[in-house]
Structure 1
Amino acid sequence: MSNGKRGSRAESYRIETFKKHALAKHALSTITPQMVAAWRDARLTEVSSGTALRELQLLGHVFSVAIREWGVRIPSNPVGLIRKPRSGKARDRVLTASERTALIAACDQCQNPWIKPVVVFALETAARRGEILALRWNDVDLAHRTALLQVTKTGEPRRIPLSSACVSSLESLPRSLDGRVFPVSMEALKQAYERAVARAGIANFTFHDLRHDALTRLARQGLSVLELRAISGHTTANMLQRYVSIDASELAVKLG
């Protein structure tokens, strides 16, 4: 694992999960497809199929590296020989108008003053949590209402537009000494956000769902697929589609 690459935090968490399982007590050369399949079945009783699939992909990568680069003598990658769980249905959770108001109000009650601005930024820009926390004032242009996200999932920087509400929120912020727009840690944000969601009385709404909500709202405002991809950073329209909820009743109104 590389600590410098995108996604290293999530990858590190998955590795720690593997280390706690009995499978980690065996030498790589002794692990069979049947053992991996048993791990898969046990894991599916604890987490979603999507999570189990991502963990299997990481485990498969470990075996690939071991075979190709470490010289471990294994006849084949055992992960490649078992049935993979389905990735699962894409989440389609978006906020109602009342939930959005309640969430922002709950974030305003947080002891940490940076939680509400982070959530507002996420709701207005559809940026990912890591992209938001890495944003620096040097990359924010309030005059032209844009922000340059230097740290992105794809590794390619992208410039995003800022709404009036987003600009107003940013203008009210103090400037931190370290140059970051939102000087808060990932863990502090995670805990404070989860408490705010609970205070707001909102069920089943993760921080990543803010991205889904933002893109759905932008689509309803009439932005094209190309414009939405420029904002979201998705490389394909198919990937973007997983993040935009289309209401059939709204389409019916357009049809007349």
Structure 2
Amino acid sequence: MPLMQLSTGFLDKIQCPEGKAKVDYFDMSCRGLMVEIRPTGRKVFYFRYTDFRGVQRQIKLASTDDLSLDQARKKVAALRNQIALGQDPFALKTEAKQVPTFAQFIADQYMPFIMSYKRSWDTDASILKNHLLPRFGKRYMDEITRQDIVKIHGDRKASGAAAGSANRLLIMMRYIFNLALKWEVPGIKTNPCKGIPLMEENNKMERYLSVEEAQRLYEAVCKSENTMLKFIVPMLILTGARKREVLDARWEDFDLGRRAWRIPISKSGKARHVPLSDGALTLLATMPRKTDCEWAFANPETGKPYVSIYYAWNTARKSIGLSDVRMHDLRHSFASLLINSGRTLYEVQHILGHTQVKTTQRYAHLSQDTLLAAANSATTALGAAMMPPVMLAPVSALPAALRA
């Protein structure tokens, strides 16, 4: 390993001695700088040093065709400065090679994790597929900056999406990077989303169904090719439950004797109980039930909960000119009817399963005793529109077979 005063002229002329696989020359003017000469004529700069544990390390810089001698010396000086500051260039380079791309992290770690506990993981998958992966998929995780996050957040709003839709991108990216930090993913030292504010959402203009609209909607879902839609939609509006809560409901969750529906895992992560009004009980009594199927609103073709009912729902609402009505608006309509029936915010909060009263307060402007009576108030107001005549009869008046 000859020690030489490297020069541009020397590098141009030097050749690997015949019979040798390679020869290394160290620079007298720059400690650690080395040039490797191969029989093929290829010449490559390296930086060689001893790390904090006494292990000799070697980092490839570049070919002499791509890096001048002066540039190589400056690069080595910068690496030696890193060492002086307590950083190991070899460890940093090794870590950099381990940093996953955004797409790799999502596929290998994020999706398997959320699918293990999150019922609405398909919503995450949709947001990733349509918005985040096209923008960041090929980028390494440590390359995604705060400016990148601010831009996609703003771009989503500028595209015409609601502030809430734009905020969902920011919220998901924040969660993704928090997990990356928690799991000590190589290269992730900070969360680029930290401190980026959410856009103000205007949730005051909620969409509420009128009785006439509810009647038309019920007629439309009864005509749907999805034979369960005529039960799912009324259940949503008669209980104020969330879509996924209804789709994932098991027969064992319903205690008809106590007139209660236990939702094992709600949005808050805790179990909650929904009072079953006369209309809801009657609906359950008139639904088809297979003895070997545990799911109340199962897809008849699979015997399992629907992954999505969007197509059937969208077809039904568009057929009657209600394309602006979202499925979640059925929950809003239920809440508005409770308030207009004179129920308190406390009652509405508990029926809807809101963990914070401020979430329920969006309905306070509509108007101003038991939870069951509150639920029946809503059922009475919309029952005639959302159910056929047999379902309007009191539970006690139903045939014994339906009350069983």
TM-score scaled by structure 1?
0.87
Question: Counterpart of 2:208 in structure 1: which amino acid?
Answer: V
Sort the Cα spacing of 1:200 and 1:245 in 2 relative to 1 into closer, same or farther, 3 A.
Answer: farther
Describe how 1:71-90 pairs up with structure 2 within 5 A: 71-74=185-188, 76-80=190-194, 82-90=196-204
8 Å CA contact retained: 2:238, 2:279: yes
2:365 aligned to 231, 235, 246, which one? 246
Higher strand fraction (1 or 2): 2
Q: 1:208 is matched with which residue?
A: 328
CA distance in 2, matches of 1:93, 1:221: 18
Q: 1:254 is matched with which residue?
A: none
Sort the Cα spacing of 1:65 and 1:161 in 2 relative to 1 into closer, same or farther, 3 A.
Answer: closer
Greater displacement, 205-214 / 63-72: 63-72
8 Å CA contact retained: 1:136, 1:180: yes
Answering whether residue 342 of structure 2 is matched by residue 222 of structure 1, we say: yes
Q: 1:233 is matched with which residue?
A: 353
Question: Counterpart of 2:258 in structure 1: which amino acid?
Answer: H
Question: Counterpart of 2:365 in structure 1: which amino acid?
Answer: I
For these two proteins, the number of residue pairs brought into alignment is 248
Answering whether residue 129 of structure 2 is matched by residue 10 of structure 1, we say: no
CA distance in 2, matches of 1:75, 1:181: 46
Sort the Cα spacing of 1:83 and 1:149 in 2 relative to 1 into closer, same or farther, 3 A.
Answer: closer
Describe how 1:51-70 pairs up with structure 2 within 5 A: 51-70=165-184
Alpha-carbon RMSD: 2.2
Q: 1:64: how far off?
A: 2.7
Answering whether residue 273 of structure 2 is matched by residue 159 of structure 1, we say: yes
Question: Counterpart of 1:3 in structure 2: which amino acid?
Answer: M
CA distance in 2, matches of 1:122, 1:159: 15
Q: Which runs of 4+ in 1 moved over 6 A?
A: none
Q: 2:312 is matched with which residue?
A: 192
TM-score scaled by structure 2?
0.57
| Alignment gaps of 5+ in structure 2 | 1-109, 300-304, 369-404
CA distance in 2, matches of 1:128, 1:91: 19
8 Å CA contact retained: 2:170, 2:193: yes
Sort the Cα spacing of 1:216 and 1:150 in 2 relative to 1 into closer, same or farther, 3 A.
Answer: same
**More contact order relative to length (CA 8 Å, sep ≥ 6):** 1
CA distance in 1, matches of 2:261, 2:150: 45
3-state SS of paired residue (2:365): coil
Q: 1:179 is matched with which residue?
A: 294
Q: 1:173: how far off?
A: 0.9
Q: 1:109: how far off?
A: 0.7
CA distance in 1, matches of 2:168, 2:267: 16
CA distance in 1, matches of 2:152, 2:235: 39
Sort the Cα spacing of 1:64 and 1:150 in 2 relative to 1 into closer, same or farther, 3 A.
Answer: closer
8 Å CA contact retained: 1:135, 1:150: no
8 Å CA contact retained: 1:133, 1:182: yes
CA distance in 2, matches of 1:229, 1:35: 38
Q: 1:65: how far off?
A: 2.8
CA distance in 2, matches of 1:141, 1:83: 44
3-state SS of paired residue (1:159): strand
Q: 1:67: how far off?
A: 3.4
3-state SS of paired residue (1:160): strand
Pick the structure with greater CA Rg: 2
3-state SS of paired residue (2:315): helix
3-state SS of paired residue (1:93): coil
Question: Counterpart of 2:247 in structure 1: which amino acid?
Answer: L
Q: 1:217: how far off?
A: 0.7
1:25 aligned to 138, 142, 149, which one? 138
